Chains A and B, each alone.
Chain A
Amino acid sequence: MADIVVTDLDHTEHADHHDVKPIRKTAMWVFLGSECVFFGAMISTFLLYRNTTNGGPGSEIFDIPFTSASSFVLLMSSLTMVLAHNAFENRDLRQTRIWLTGTALLGATFLAGQIFEFTEFIHEGLTLPRSPFGSSFYMLTGFHGMHVALGVILLAAMAVLSLSGRLYDDRGLNVELVGLYWHFVDIVWIVIFTVVYLLQV
């Protein structure tokens, strides 16, 4: 009986903590599921209009070697993210900070590559209003880029929080949730790279 009382007291002490975390993680998975549909709609739209160039540039202007390098950078950022999460679980704040910062830098590198790519395409005549192909391409890759940008901000915020020792404050986002979001951004790019770039070569 005494054991039961002690167990109950211990459970009550962390009741808020144990109740909130699974709910937030479930909410994140629901959000990611809904994001699948969102990007599914965008990819479908691109495939519908992939040949509707209105005489303007089409997929022939894609620079596959350059985009492959960008894809590799984003893929490797998933590795640094999972290493950050692993360090976070092992209570190694220094390693967590290093890997979080590395992930943010790789994300920023990918974004810089995307901005360069967009600039090149605009110089070659592929603008947003030029054709349905251009509109659907920029909407899809642009929205993905915005997701990457948000991820970079979240990663930078996590790195700053680790400096003040608030990384284990469980009231807001934590490394695991930001990690899930980041990996999702990566898997969306895996699909975009295959369907939008490689299949159009």
Chain B
Amino acid sequence: MTADLEKAEAAPAEHDADHIKHPTPKQYWLIALILAIVTAIEIGVAYVDALDGAPVVTALLVLGAIKFGMVVALFMHLKFDKPLYKAFFLIGLVGAIGMFIVVLLTFRAL
């Protein structure tokens, strides 16, 4: 254990600059609570008989996008990180969505 502490103290403060901007543990718990609530709403929406077709699809996609965005921005710290990281991730994300649309349009499944 002593070795652990020595190692930890000897390690350079590589994250200090980033760490200032990151959420606190309390805020992380709050974010997780919001994510859990959004998940519960998603499941509820999927089972509501009154809703059908496009409204359900839209609602589920929006709720899924909210969860996706919160995890990427706040848990993966992309909101606080370098624009270069955002660019690389967005290139992949836009590529995936673009391919998704092209494939489904090509096979007339959209």
Contacts and interface: CB of A to CB of B under 8 A. Distances in A.
A171 to B, nearest CB: 13
Interface string B49-65: 00000001100110110
5 contacts: A33-B88, A41-B96, A75-B35, A82-B75, A194-B64
| Interface range on chain A (Cβ under 8 Å from partner) | 35 or more
A34 interface: yes
B82 to A, nearest CB: 8
Interface string B1-15: 001111111111011
A93 to B, nearest CB: 5
Contacts of B109: 47-48
A50 B59 CA distance: 20
**Chief secondary structure at chain A's binding surface:** helix
Given A81-B75, A183-B71, A165 B89 contact: no
A72 B36 contact: yes
A36 B89 contact: yes
B103 A44 contact: yes
Q: How large is the interface on B (under 10, 10 to 19, 20 to 34, 35 or more residues)?
A: 35 or more
A86 B25 contact: yes
Interface of B: 3-12, 14-15, 18-19, 22, 25, 28-29, 31-32, 35-36, 39, 42-43, 45-47, 56-57, 60-61, 63-64, 67-68, 71-72, 75-76, 84-85, 88-93, 95-97, 99-100, 103-104, 107, 109
A176 B78 CA distance: 12
A21 B14 contact: yes
A124 interface: no
A44 B104 contact: yes
Interface in A79-123: 79, 81-83, 86, 89-91, 93
Contact of A190 (B5, B71, B93): B71
Nearest to B15: A89
B54 to A, nearest CB: 12
Nearest to A50: B109
A102 B81 CA distance: 26
Contacts of A78: 32, 35, 71, 75
Q: What 7 A-B pairs have minimum CB-CB distances, sorted nearest first? A: A33-B92, A40-B96, A36-B92, A194-B64, A168-B11, A79-B32, A165-B7
B77 to A, nearest CB: 8
Given A32-B89, A39-B96, A183-B71, A199 B60 contact: yes
B19 to A, nearest CB: 5
Contacts of A14: 12
A91 B12 contact: no
A179 B15 CA distance: 14
A135 interface: no
Interface string A6-21: 0000000010010001
A163 B2 CA distance: 11
Nearest to A88: B15
Contact of B85 (A29, A40, A170, A194): A29
